[in-house]
Structure 1
Amino acid sequence: MIDKKQEYNEIMQVMTEEELVARIAWFYYHDNLTQGDIGNRLGLSRLKVSRLLEKGRQQGIIKVQINSRFTGCLELEKSLQQYFNLKYIRVLPALEIHETNERLGVGAAQMLMSLLKPNQLLSIGFGETIMQTIKYCNEFITDNGIKLVTLSGGVGPYMNGIGQLDGSCSVSIIPAPLRASSIEAAKLFKKESCVRDIMLAACGANVAIVGIGATQQRGQATLLRTGYITEEKQQIIRQQGAVGDILGYFMQADGRIQPDMPLHEELISVSLDNLKKIPNVIGIAGGENKVEAILSALYGGHINSLVTEEKTARMILAQLV
């Protein structure tokens, strides 16, 4: 049985510690002292100060309130990351003053610069957001010796971004069209060592970035602009149940690849199964017409990281309720 003296000592110890936590918190958050400065002032080690701050947060003594327009984005990131078990996520604040693809490119470039190490290999898909991403990490790619390799055939869709890189950058482009004239022609292209070797290299990248197309898109879609499919064919594919694509492979709402599509066999593009073998696959997309397609990519596990914007993220979460 605890005697009164022991009980008194325990109460005083708790009170003393609570007061100590309060003082440390005041010095740290109000006076902007470092943990080392606080330790010197109170005769504590820096480690003890750090532990007491953490204990104060756990016990509810310290509550940090962040007043920023970015707070909502951080909450969205946490919700999406937990739901889809994402490795990395970046939700950009909704802004009307900048074009969506450009803002997504900036956000994706920042993510890449935090992930890529010098001399690593980056595989890239096609699309405007991907080219904007390359544009905004141009200097980083050059300074760090990052090697680039394309995930699909078709030179045209890549030139807007790759064309802006320094001439010293290492870039390997699959020397073939995005879509062959027939299944037989596609097989012949893939047998060529110059095509096969680059596709194999793309699968061995440290990081991959891919755009996510939507069958709701009209003339601005990369697949339409490059002549991969016609708008009429796109509508037929949507009526058959496809909601979006990655690298030209169309996906259903649940993330499965659209079945019975000879079009896929004419593609000269890394398969989505092989794409999954890359450790970090970042999907970059935003906009109301991309919500279904992004969800499909997430459900199918075709990407394990995401860069999007606030309005899109809210619409994605609304679909999960």
Structure 2
Amino acid sequence: MEILELLKKITPEIIEIIEKRYLILRAISYNQPIGRRALSGELGFKERTIRDEVSILKNQGLLNIDLMGMYITDDGKKILENLHSIYGNLKGIPKLEERLQEILGIKKMIIVPGNSTENSMVLKDMGKITSRVLKNIIQPKDIIGITGGSTMAVVAEEITPDNKSRDIMVIPARGGLGREVETQSNSIAAKLGQQLGGSYRLLYVPDGLEEKALELMLKNEEIRESMEMINNMNTLVFGIGRADTMAKRRNLSEERIEELINKGAVAEALGHYFDIKGNEIWEFKTIGLSLEKFKSLNNVIGVAGGEEKAESIISVSTLNSNMTLITDESAAEKILEIVNEATK
């Protein structure tokens, strides 16, 4: 955007103003109604700064204030939507996306400004973008798989219902993992199916089962039908896990975790553990989508943020070049740092 470069040159202070007001509008939209003090704590701005900026935004008709707190107006929502891309350009996001897309060799790279580990609003933004990407690619009769985890839970929550009825099926891409219901793949698949106006099918099987137990489970007609749908899915939305984090979630022994780390494991996907080059180190037998099926899918949307996920993202990106990766600025910058260091 040439006009943005011009603004940076002639009035560099305007960049700071745009960023500040964008962050305020975004924070209010996610937390409304919210008071000035709470907003100050959320953003780390001084209360005086919040008071001054809020007064300007209110006078512009972008905010309303009552006894409950501040709300964003319809005009404010429109401005905020337009500011998303402007803010991204100010941060140099498009150039970073182009460079990392080429480095990782994937179909598309989408970067959200900020750090999702430190700011929950960044993760919500990633969820909203995932929603738009998914709605743009799904077709009637599609079978959409989704994994579990906290990131996928946010993705499902941020899918905005549009009152459309879609002839699609959403199904968990793997069995249940962990004890928290909200982050189970079953719960997330049901939520996603409802939000998209489609149908959903559940998989009443834990993620890890011994072979004999699995054979018994597959004699159940409902479970067998769910597994057939998983094998026939054409779109996958999944979170990218760190090897050590996922090993602990699966309650692997300390010896096994240490062995994986010593062998260079940095990522986990569908029960498989990989080094940074995408070489498989070990497989934990799981119920759900196979690695072979994952590699053959044409529509794959990976979502992960935080610089601690950088190595995991690099690793998993080698597995399927059809991947659309949605990440945050902190992870993107760390990926670039790792790649640059490796090429010295």
Q: TM-score, normalised by structure 2?
A: 0.62
**Partner of residue 178, structure 1:** 207
For 2:279, the equivalent position in structure 1 comes to 256
In 2, distance between residues paired with 1:151 and 1:125? 5
Q: Secondary structure at the match of 1:293?
A: helix
Matched, 1:201 2:229: yes
Quick check: 1:281 aligned with 2:300? yes
Is the CA contact (8 Å cut-off) linking 1:284 and 1:307 kept in structure 2?
yes
Please tell me whether the aligned partners of residues 245 and 293 of structure 1 are also in contact (alpha carbons under 8 angstroms).
yes
CA deviations 1:51-77 (Å, max 9, x no partner) are: xxxxxxxxxxxxxxxx94312211121
Query: Which structure 2 residues correspond to residues 37-116 of structure 1 after superposition, within 5 A?
Result: 68-71=86-89, 72-94=92-114, 97-116=119-138
Partner SS state of residue 276, structure 1? helix
Is 1:123 equivalent to 2:145 in the alignment?
Answer: yes
Aligned to 1:247: 270
Q: Distance in 1 between matches of 2:189 and 2:307?
A: 28
Q: 1:102, 1:129 within 8 Å by CA — same for their partners in 2?
A: no
The one-letter code of the counterpart of 2:206 is: P
Change (3 A) 1:101 1:190: farther
Quickly say closer, same or farther: Cα 1:201–1:162, change in 2 above 3 A: closer
SS in 2 for 1:122: strand
When the two chains are superposed, the root-mean-square deviation of aligned CA atoms in Å is: 2.9
Question: Residues 215 and 145 (structure 1 numbering): CA distance in 2 closer, same or farther, change over 3 Å?
Answer: same
Structure 1 residue identity aligned to 2:314: L
Amino acid aligned to 1:175? Y
**AA matched with 2:273:** F
Check whether the contact 1:281–1:305 (CA below 8 A) recurs between aligned residues. Answer: yes
What amino acid does structure 1 have at the position aligned with 2:257? Q
Give the total of aligned pairs: 244
> Deviations along 1:208-252, whole A, 9 cap, x unmatched?
1111110343xxx5x645xx2247343442233211111222112
CA contact (8 A) 1:150 1:174 kept: yes
Q: Residues 176 and 97 (structure 1 numbering): CA distance in 2 closer, same or farther, change over 3 Å?
A: closer
Relative to structure 1, is the Cα distance of residues 253 and 279 closer, same or farther in structure 2, using a 3 angstrom cutoff?
same
For structure 1, the residue ranges without an aligned partner over 5 or more in a row are 1-66
The Cα shift of 1:195 comes to: 3.2
Structure 2: which 5+ residue stretches go unaligned? 1-84
Q: Distance in 2 between matches of 1:126 and 1:282?
A: 14
**Per the alignment, in what secondary structure is the counterpart of residue 89 of structure 1?**
strand
Please give the secondary structure, in 1, of the residue aligned with 2:87.
Answer: coil
Aligned match for 1:234, one of 231, 254, 257: 257
Letter in 1 for 2:114: A
The AA in structure 2 aligned to 1:79 is R
- Which residue, out of 304, 309, 312, partners 1:290? 309
Equivalent-residue separation in structure 2 for 1:193 and 1:240 (angstroms): 40
